Amino acid sequence: MLNQEAMTPLYVQLMEEVEKSIQRGDYKPGDRIMTESEMAKTYGVSLITVRKAIGSLTEKGLLVRKQGKGTFVMKPKFSRNMKKLQSFSEMCRQMGVRPGARMLQNRLIKADSKISARLGLAAGSNVIYIERLRFADQEPVQIERNYFPLKYASLLDANFDDNSLLDFLNEHNGMRVAASEKIIELCRATAEEASLLDMKKGDYLLFVRSTAFDQTGEPLYAGVQIINGDRFSLYVYETSGE
């Protein structure tokens, strides 16, 4: 029961109790917490107090409401430093989670004008298109769509289920990413993307358009990453250079 006589508002006391339950491990990431009515009865408070506490914890990113399902403990977000040259697999391993991938496509296509320009090729040139669904601890979090020049045709014979594209290029072609440029935008999930990422059509996604360059300054690949923003945060650390 909460202290009805304390100076601290009841909803704040309830917030602290729920936070302590999460910290103790009574509730684990992904667990559904008590319903509002159960919580009101357990702590001897009104539904209004419960809703205010749950709303505040949701704003803090500790809980998430799912329509028709209940309120759940948020899973910690994966965080990626966009200023650092780091593969998805490296990022996962650094965070202590297991990276994974399922190859969706690996084929030759004709590049449109935008992809051709990013790769320094003539419009309509054939390129290698590799699309993969990326997993972190078996949870789908990102769709990768990458376009490679034909000089990396050995990619067509490889399977990239749970294998690193960049490690393959380094081992077979002696190439590595030396620099990259990225543009970050928002987009809405298509029906196909929503199905792959276990989301709803129209949900917001992070859209990262990137071009990677090898040691000689030549384009290594042009790519797009479509990321579940509920599970991922992107950050950049900058200094003034002084």
Distance separating the N- and C-terminal Cα atoms of the chain: 55
Q: What is the pLDDT of residue 163?
A: 83
Q: How many Å apart are CA 15 and CA 13, to the nearest integer? A: 5
User: Based on the domain organization, do 129 and 174 belong to the same domain?
Assistant: yes
**Which of 16-20, 98-102, 188-192: highest mean pLDDT?**
188-192
Q: How many Å apart are CA 222 and CA 125, to the nearest integer? A: 14
User: Based on the domain organization, do 44 and 87 belong to the same domain?
Assistant: no
The answer to whether residue 80 scores a pLDDT higher than 80 is no
User: Based on the domain organization, do 138 and 67 belong to the same domain?
Assistant: no
Q: What is the pLDDT of residue 88?
A: 84
Q: What is the pLDDT of residue 236?
A: 64
User: Based on the domain organization, do 69 and 84 belong to the same domain?
Assistant: no
Q: What are phi and psi of 197, to 5 degrees?
A: -100, 5
The answer to whether residue 178 scores a pLDDT higher than 60 is yes
Q: What is the pLDDT of residue 61?
A: 77
Q: What is the pLDDT of residue 238?
A: 57
Residue 23, domain member (yes or no): yes
Which DSSP category does 151 fall into? G
The answer to whether residue 186 scores a pLDDT higher than 80 is yes
What pLDDT, in 10s, does the model give residues 134-144? 998 888 999 99
The answer to whether residue 48 scores a pLDDT higher than 80 is yes
Alpha-helical runs (H) found in 143-214: 165-173, 191-197
User: Based on the domain organization, do 116 and 129 belong to the same domain?
Assistant: yes
Q: What is the pLDDT of residue 145?
A: 97
Give the three-class secondary structure for 80: strand
Query: What range defines the domain where residue 55 resides?
Result: 10-73
User: Based on the domain organization, do 119 and 85 belong to the same domain?
Assistant: yes
User: Based on the domain organization, do 106 and 181 belong to the same domain?
Assistant: yes
Our count of domains for the chain comes to 2
